[in-house]
Amino acid sequence: MKNSLALGFFALSTLAAHAEYQQVNLTVFGMDCAPCAHAIHVSMKGIQGVNTVDVDLNTGLVSIQLTPGNSAAMHQFNEAVEKNGFTHKDAAVIVRGELSGSAQAPFLDVTGTKDHYALTPLATGTDIAGLLGKTVVVNGTLPQSPKGKVSDTLRYKTVTEAK
Amino acid sequence: MKFQLVLACIVLVTGSASAADHGPVFSYATPVNSEREFSFDTGIIGRNGSQGTQLSTGSGFGYGVTPHLTLNAFLPASFGSGDLPESRIMSGTEWSAGASWRFLHSVTSVGERIESTASLGLVVPGPQQDSGVLGSLHRAPGVAGTLVTGLASRSQYLWLGGGYTRFAEASHDRRPDTLSWSAVYGYRPPSLRRGYDKWDYRGFAELTGEHTGAVRSNGVILPDSSATTLWLGPSVLAIFKNVAIEGGVQGPLFRDVSESIYGRERVRFAINLSYLKYSSHTSSH
């Protein structure tokens, strides 16, 4: 029993180390000046696991690169925007997680966080059924969510098995 | 005068504060602090008239309780004497503390938002006396409220605001009630709409006006002691990440002021330095 528990923890920790947000490109509305961008930069850098942050004031795009093995959750990125008085729109993400559910209704669990998304396709052609139960990398878009909330749907462009 | 200038400079360097922040230097504007953001502002505000020059250090402090609610305090000190009429737009000798609430915040597109902010504060006499007719009055605390609305964008800014200050009576004396208003237009040229890691510049045209009521001394209204003025002038704001410096000058457009009591005010000027300390705090899971 002890061995089983140890194995379980080992498997879980391995999974956590390989399941995370890798890139988040968040569109932010309302930033007009340099201090606005600086405030966003400081807030994003305060999230554990964030490696680099780039803010483009003219497009409103906040590009966040994360370190491998991070456990940052999507609500933290949204909160970093909200606490500075701005509004987050769609977010393009590249995220690793475990694919569950069925081919018709797949879900992605971002291990190491409580983030759980229903996956809907932006385009056809991905063999979801063959990836169920596996760790995958999803490239997709999280639609805008109300303040204090995170979208429960991730619209994917591609889903590939994680290496 | 040299000594006073040196003193003013010392306070400019060492003072702490928030007031102009990163908006116009004379006028009312809507921005408030981010959540957990500290802001420190300090500067010199000057009024020159026929009876002398009055310098005030506009030193303030702000803290963002929420993204839309900021607590602030303003602790000016004045140097020189101009025997000028009461002004709430140009800080005098009163200390103040209060809160600003951005009650309307509508984000319309990338870099653009429409918002309205209301402020309410307590104004208390500072340790210094005013000069001229105001200097002979017993002073009492007052209440100041402002309301401002406008638009901020990457290219243009427009804010309209007004304020009212009413002082209590002390020993049959009362400082005049003051009604203030401002309209400011700002512009950032396309070539200066750059990345946030470069200096960010914008220019403003600032129109401000004030009407101060009559002064009451020993229970008697002093004749011709009310004043109405309208001022216009440019200002420039430069920001690098979390540090801002701005300066502006205004000349009179309209004056209805008793020159025998207050002299003839000719020019107003201001320089402000801001430091913004943002919080990196975020919640965990």
* A57 in contact with B, Cβ within 8 Å: yes
- Angle in degrees, CA A132, A138, A141, rounded to 5: 130
B34 contacts on A by Cβ (under 8 Å)? 39, 43, 83-85
Q: Would B141 be classed as within a structural domain?
A: yes
Q: Residue-wise over B199-235: b if at least 16 C-beta within 10 A, else e?
A: ebbbbbbbbbbbbbbbbbbeeeebeebbbebbbbbeb
* Count of domains forming chain B: 1
Q: pLDDT, tens digit, for every residue of B72-112?
A: 998 888 887 777 888 888 777 788 999 999 999 999 889 99
Q: pLDDT, tens digit, for every residue of B230-249?
A: 999 999 999 998 899 999 99
Q: Would A9 be classed as within a structural domain?
A: no
Q: Would B282 be classed as within a structural domain?
A: no
pLDDT band at B28 (very low <50, low <70, confident <90, very high): very high
Is residue A140 within 8 Å of A121, Cβ to Cβ? no
For residue A39, give both structure tokens: 């405030």
Q: Would B283 be classed as within a structural domain?
A: no
State whether A35 and B239 contact (CB < 8 Å): yes
Q: Which domain holds residue A99?
A: 19-161
* Count of domains forming chain A: 1
pLDDT of residue A17: 45
For chains A and B, count residue pairs whose Cβ atoms are closer than 8 Å.
114
State whether B107 and A114 contact (CB < 8 Å): no
Phi-psi region of A60 (alpha: psi -120 to 50; beta: other; left: phi over 0): left
Mean pLDDT of B140-161: 96
**0.90 cut: is pTM over it?**
no
CATH of the domain at B87: 2.40.160.40
DSSP B106-132: EEEETTEEEEEEEEEEEEEE-SSPP-G
Q: Would A2 be classed as within a structural domain?
A: no
Q: Which domain holds residue B164?
A: 2-277
Nearest CA in chain B to A48: B284
State whether B111 and A87 contact (CB < 8 Å): no
Is residue A80 exposed (0-12), middle (13-18) or buried (19+ Cβ within 10 Å)? buried
Residue A124 C-alpha, separation from nearest chain B C-alpha, in angstroms: 31
Is residue A150 within 8 Å of A142, Cβ to Cβ? yes
> Which residue's structure tokens are 């809160």?
B99
Q: What is the ipTM of this complex?
A: 0.81
Is residue B8 within 8 Å of B43, Cβ to Cβ? no
CATH of the domain at A39: 3.30.70.100
Q: Would A101 be classed as within a structural domain?
A: yes
One-letter amino acid identity for B86?
E
State whether B193 and A32 contact (CB < 8 Å): no
Q: Would A5 be classed as within a structural domain?
A: no
Which residues of B have a CB under 8 Å from any CB of A?
A: 22, 32, 34-37, 67-68, 102, 105, 107-113, 152-154, 157, 193-196, 198-200, 202, 239-242, 244, 276, 278-285
Q: Which of A139, A54, A63, A61 is nearest to A95 (CA)?
A: A139
Consecutive 10-residue averages of pLDDT for chain A (163 residues)? 45 48 96 91 94 95 94 95 93 95 93 90 82 94 93 94 86
Nearest CA in chain A to B114: A30
For residue A90, give both structure tokens: 């769609």
Q: How do B112-125 and B52-57 pair as beta strands?
A: unpaired
pLDDT band at B21 (very low <50, low <70, confident <90, very high): low
Q: Would A3 be classed as within a structural domain?
A: no
